[in-house]
Amino acid sequence: MSSTGQDSTTTRHRRSRHNPQSPLHDSSVTSKRNTKKGAVPRSSPNLAEVKKKGKMKKLSQAVEDDLIIGFQELDVNPEAKIAVGTGLVFDEQLNEFHCLWDDSFPERPERLHAIKEQLMQEGLLDRCVSFQARFAEKEELMLVHSLEFIDLMETTQYMNEGELRVLADTYDSVYLHPNSYTCACLASGSVLRLVDAVLGAEIRNGMAIVRPPGHHAQHSLMDGYCMFNHVAVAARYAQKKHRIQRVLIVDWDVHHGQGTQFTFDQDPSVLYFSIHRYEQGRFWPHLKASNWSTTGFGQGQGYTINVPWNEFQPQLVLVAAGFDALQGDPKGEMAATPAGFAQLTHLLMGLAGGKLILSLEGGYNLHSLAEGVSASLHILLGDPCPMLESPGAPCPSAQASISCTLEALEPFWQILVRPAETPEEDSVEDGVQEIEEEGPWVPSVLPILTWPLAQARTGLVYDQRMMNHCNVWDSHHPETPQRILRIMRHLEELGLAGRCVTLPVRPATEAELLTCHSAEYVERLRATEKMKTRELHREGANFDSIYICPSTFTCAQLATGAVCCLVEAVLSGEVLNGVAVVRPPGHHAEQDAACGFCFFNSVAVAARHAQAISGRTMRILIVDWDIHHGNGTQHIFEDDPSVLYVSLHRFDRGTFFPMGDEGASSQVGRAAGTGFTVNVAWNGPRVGDAEYLAAWHRLVLPIAYEFNPELVLVSAGFDAARGDPLGGCQVSPEGYAHLTHLLMGLANGRIILVLEGGYNLTSISESMAACTHALLGDLPPQLPLLRPPQSGALASITETIQVHHRYWRSLRVTKVEDKEGLSSSKSVTKKVPQQANPGLAKGMTMPKEKVLEVDMRKATSALPAEESTDQTKPEAANVTLTPDQSSETATRRAALDKAPSEETVEEAPVHQATSEAATGAVVMHPTTSEEAEGGAELIQTPQASYTENQFPAASPVLGATALLSPSQLTGDPGTLELGGEALETLEPQALEEESLLGEAAGGQDVADLKLTQRFQDLAEINQGILYAVTPLPWCPHLVAVRPIPAASLDVTQPCEDCGTCQENWVCLSCYQVYCSRYINAHMVRHHEASGHPLVLSYVDLSTWCYPCQAYVHHQDLLDVKNITHQKKFGEDMPHPH
């Protein structure tokens, strides 16, 4: 809650090693920390006063003015734009079909009857906004399906039972009824109706309870009870009609939605994420494409993936909501609970501004299906999440699947950087061991769900008397009374205070204080009420970074008592959650010492009070996101396993307040509390939303769900917020809202936020307001496009995971030796198949009793690969492309999508990790997303197309493609031979260590420069090489491009930092002009400070994306490029396409 030395921008002299002029003090009355924040006599008051006024003027004017502008852009209070209500489509017409020849067929009308009965019983139907189902038009269905297929399905309306059965038997797991086509059209149309309503702001989310299901249906193929793919059609419809650019599809049906995956596996605008049962291909639909190693193809590679919530930033979330993974389902035979699906729904509601639509898919136990639908609908309606029953940690086989998926996706998503393997990890071969250990499936009894009911949603405690605590010697002390006043005023201005239940407050009793503090310390503070000013000053100097006034004891007692009152209201059910706007803060306060502006540890006392009134050792989670480590809270609970303390703070290797090693990741508690103290120690400034969300998803939430708390207390300091003078970090109000929303899934929604630090009045007001919005049930606003987390921050998270994985099973990574296929993050040896296999028809599937051996649905490679790790190098594999190998032959070759079996296919292995593999290209070590999308490539081109005059004069750039004649191209992942000259590629580790942020005006990183130089060295010897830029046709950061300013552009404008006119770039978000990295790198610094992703070169009109590490050329950039061309050359671009 405090900061010293170079980290502080406050104006008082401090006793610390950074201020040698500070008077010495008696070490016997201070803590072991070698810094203090107490005021000291000034030897030159006039000079100090001048410094104080200057600094405060700079803070209050420059910093806060910038913040206000930024917050206006954030639109934290979009009250007029917030859509409310949950839409529901439930139409009895959808029950007018069934299997004519098998009454026991699991996909039957009783499914919807059971759901309706459950929803009526719980009163959910009346709480929803009802929508009538509508028919999907043929043109809408054709967004995904072929016209021939649609016409064939339409003819089923006129077939008799025999004809329907004959046609159905040509597909896998399908029946047909004369009304099947009508109902399938109604089902697709129902989802489209909800898309219109959600994106038109009629409602905020919705659920389509429809049948038949859809996610197995393919372009021209019925499959697995499905005729039309409702979710796929809805995604394309949203993109076409509503101009949505990014759609996330989550498929939690126990069966893989291969139809949806095949529709989008080459499309980077749709992120498909499926959790399903696979069992090495033994579970239906028996496709190797259902395995973790399939990550998409072409431009869509990496977009058939698992769990990177906040890197894709979807604008709409569609859920293929199958409930056949629930306990008791005869098809899934899994152990999920309705509460688990409620949690998944809650997590997804934090994305896309809450624009979430669930479309019913499978689920064949009528009772569990109804419970699952009801649980998800409760969450859509804003009800709190039910607690999970002893969730524990994932089973070993699930951990193995997750580990494999993460490994396969690491090249495409920077958020998925994982800790190194550790000796404690288990090695599992193909996951068979776990499957064999599992006994026969026995239907389970679902736990009875209880939905917490509260008279009101959010309680609020505040008392203006807490402003009486002040620094009588320094009116500019950062812990000012105005902090809580400004927060309350802002809550009132936004109407949030009126939506909360204001609770009366009282001072903490002595018994409550003594649960965490010694009697001697309480009496020592009480005695300050009668001290004179000089005595107060002397007493404050006895503690670390403390000031005391006559009202301090009363205010500290009132702040602690207010939090206890809020705990009572939450545990009694009077309110669901709460926010405490209190001061002085508390998390630094020790059992017998004040510290860092803190006197009584309010959160710690509240935790003990909760356990006392519950009459048992209630499990309590304390999350401390103040930028300073809560040393007092940690010490109070370090031996107590009933309280899990998680702190995220600046550590700076022990030099950031409160100094020392107390906040290090190695501090894990002691005795019975070992493992229940978790420290994420940031070692530098500028940590922001990306880093905190990464910590939440990878560390905080897994541990929290495994702990399964009954109450969550948050030490909500906002000094990690953007603009705070002490923290130096960059968390946004939206970021805090998302952190709060994610924690609300725990403890039945019983969560209390208690104000700790935060010293920029604008920042703390906006941040607390954003958190209060979330507590009230308002969905968190959509985050701006996030930069990748800093490598240092990821290292801190990884360090904590490595320390704690021995205590928490949810943090363990299972090492899997998988013989089926290899992760795309590995270096591989590739050979191009000689020819395609024309023997199978597109989309053909085998009966589900037999594992598929060949799947010809796709013309892209999915063959097993030969592995090459850093320790073992493969033998050189020659890639020879003859001139008569047409690109069509290369790109349309058949994919052998083979599920595991003892049979082998005698084909040359091909690595499926890059789209270039389909065209005969060789990509060298595509170990990161930057290299996969913008790295140097070797691509076949007719030899006759090269001439000596075509060589570029300048060096090629990132994204350059080296075009080689077929006779010149042989190689392996380590070496390429060009006309007899060996060209060694860089090792992945070297690429990672030496890579710089590829940037404008050349845009090369070190690895690319080395590779480029080696190509150039061969240019004089081999005249068959030509370099060309290959920009991305689309990137997810195009939404950051702002309209061109009214003042237009000035291509002669110098760099705003250094004044140079050489190689300048313009930022396409703020339109500021800076020089390239090869001049003074001011555009790089601008990106790092602002996070603005896209910049345009005034030299050659190229556009660079920092997060994608590649050039981009897209329709959305043509206007600014054309205007720049006009300003530079006096005419329009000759080829704007």
pLDDT in tens, 498-556: 999 999 999 999 999 999 999 999 999 999 999 999 999 999 999 999 999 999 999 99
Query: pLDDT (tens digit, 9 = 90+) per residue, 582-620?
Result: 999 999 999 999 999 999 999 999 999 999 999 999 999
Residue tagged active-site, from 145, 215, 216, 649? 216
Give the pLDDT of residue 297. Answer: 82
More confident residue, 58 or 653: 653
How far is it, in rounded angstroms, from Cα 1028 to Cα 952?
9
- DSSP class of 741: H
pLDDT at 1030: 78
Which region among 83-87, 498-502, 512-516, 965-969 has the lowest average model confidence (pLDDT)? 965-969
Respond yes or no: is residue 98 known to be catalytic: no
Q: Could you tell me which residue, 686 or 787, shows the higher pLDDT?
A: 686
- 985-1006 mean pLDDT: 34
pLDDT at residue 254, rounded to an integer: 94
Q: How confident is the model at residue 64 (pLDDT cuts 50, 70, 90)?
A: low
Does position 323 have pLDDT exceeding 70, yes or no?
A: yes
412 pLDDT band (50/70/90 cuts)?
confident
Token readout for 952 is 């570029």
User: Helices marked H in 970-1081 — which ranges?
Assistant: 988-994, 1006-1017
Assign 1134 to helix, strand or coil.
coil
Mean predicted confidence (pLDDT) in 998-1018:
38
Mean of the per-residue pLDDT values of the chain = 77
Least confident of 232-236, 881-885, 1122-1126: 881-885
pLDDT band at 50 (very low <50, low <70, confident <90, very high): very low
Instruction: Read off φ and ψ for residue 332, nearest 5 degrees.
Output: -80, -35
> Within 10 A of 25 (CB to CB), how many other CB atoms are there?
14
Q: List all residues 6 or more positions away from 1115 whose beta carbon is below 8 Å from its beta carbon.
A: none
Spatial contact of 210 and 239, defined as CB atoms under 8 Å apart: no
User: Residue 570: in which H helix or E strand, if any?
Assistant: helix 552-572
Q: Which residues contact 499 (CB under 8 A, 6 or more apart)?
A: 457, 458, 776
The answer, yes or no, to whether residue 1034 has pLDDT greater than 70, is yes
More confident of the two residues 130 and 966? 130
pLDDT band at 456 (very low <50, low <70, confident <90, very high): confident
Which residues 6+ apart lie within 8 Å of 970 measured at CB?
A: 878, 879, 880, 976, 977
CA separation for the pair 111, 371 (Å, rounded) = 12
Residues 739-763: pLDDT tens digits? 999 999 999 999 999 999 999 999 9
431: left (phi over 0), alpha (psi -120 to 50) or beta: left
Task: Tell me the per-residue pLDDT of 478-502, one tens digit each, with 9 for 90 and over.
Answer: 999 999 999 999 999 999 999 999 9
Q: What is the pLDDT of residue 566?
A: 98
- Catalytic-role residue among 588, 773, 1087, 1125: 588
pLDDT at res. 982: 35
Residue 407 confidence class, pLDDT cut points 50, 70, 90: confident
Q: pLDDT tens for residues 1036-1053?
A: 788 889 899 888 898 999
Q: What is the mean pLDDT of residues 441-453?
A: 59
Q: How confident is the model at residue 832 (pLDDT cuts 50, 70, 90)?
A: very low
pLDDT at 826: 36
Any catalytic annotation for residue 469?
no
The two beta strands, 643-650 and 677-682, are parallel
Is 927 a residue whose pLDDT tops 80? no
How far apart, in whole angstroms, are the C-alpha atoms of residue 597 and residue 552? Answer: 11
Share of the chain above pLDDT 90, in %: 57
- What was the pLDDT predicted at 685? 95
C-alpha span between 112 and 776 (Å, rounded):
32
Residue 210 CA to residue 230 CA, distance in Å, equals: 10
Strands 356-360 and 316-321: parallel
pLDDT band at 1002 (very low <50, low <70, confident <90, very high): very low
Q: What is the pLDDT of residues 279-306, one digit of tens each?
A: 888 899 998 888 888 888 878 887 775 3
Q: Are 270 and 299 in contact (CB under 8 A)?
A: no
